[in-house]
Amino acid sequence: MIDVYFWPTPNGYKITWMLEEVGLKYNVIPVNIGAGDQFKPEFLKISPNNRMPAMTDPDGPGGKPISIFESGAILMYLAEKTGKLMPSDTRGKYNVIQWLMFQMASVGPMLGQAHHFRRYAPEKLEYAINRYTNEAKRIYGVIDKRLGEAKYLAGDYSIADIATYPWLVPHSMQGQALEDFPNLKKWYDELRARPATQRGFAVMSEIVEKMRAAAATASANQPPQDPKTWDILFGNKQFEKR
């Protein structure tokens, strides 16, 4: 059984959704990033960049265990392991990979910055908020245009869609409205309705409800974490040598 080191974030959901989609059994090992679990030595052996998700497959290549970090690499591994959600021919494979790399290089980092400066930054910096909100809008536009040309990002349903959708779930926190992007919204609604999506996003749902409750009670000018948690997620704790 595959071990998934997980916390309910967009990158975490990519993996639980993928595993549900391809029908592989998995065991969830919580990595509470607000408590600093990502800095524990045993986790750093698997994920040296102290980021989750990470994965260990006891039945890896040649029947030997393998551990993988970085969500994009995990998706590619699982697609190759199962022969699902990524074509085997070179042209089709790289069509998927280029949209996967678009998610890893642009969608995740830029939307994450929009989310951070709009919601979590201790100071409301107008320049940063405008810069990343506008970049998020541009990225949504790229996706919307592509989905006006094809039903899915790489033509057929693939790991590129699984990688991208979770980052669009908190669209309102990125300053975006799905109604402004009709092709994207149609795709978004279809993926949201998939049974595997719903199962993947149901993992650790009780934690998600607590996080939502904390966010709802926080004031507009107050980050939805206590100072210690904020420091672990965004402060000096991130920059310690390990």
Model pTM greater than 0.75? yes
Q: Which residue segments constitute the domains of the chain, with CATH numbers given? A: 2-85 (3.40.30.10), 90-199 (1.20.1050.10)
- Cα 135 to Cα 101, 112, 188: the distances in Å are 17, 11, 20
Q: List the beta bridge partners of residue 26.
A: 2
Q: How far apart are the first and last CA of the chain?
A: 30
pLDDT tens per residue, range 13-68: 999 999 999 999 999 999 999 899 999 999 999 999 999 999 999 999 999 999 99
Give dist(CA 15, CA 104) in Å, integer: 14
Q: List the beta bridge partners of residue 155.
A: 152
pLDDT tens per residue, range 117-172: 999 898 999 999 999 999 999 999 999 999 999 999 999 999 999 999 999 999 99
By CB atoms closer than 10 A (0-12, 13-18, 19+), residue 189 is exposed
Contact 56, 120 (CB under 8 A): no
Q: Which residues are within 8 A (CB) of 159 and not within 5 positions of it... i.e. 6 or more apart?
A: 18, 75, 76, 78, 79, 85, 86, 96, 100
Cα-to-chain-centroid distance, residue 49: 16
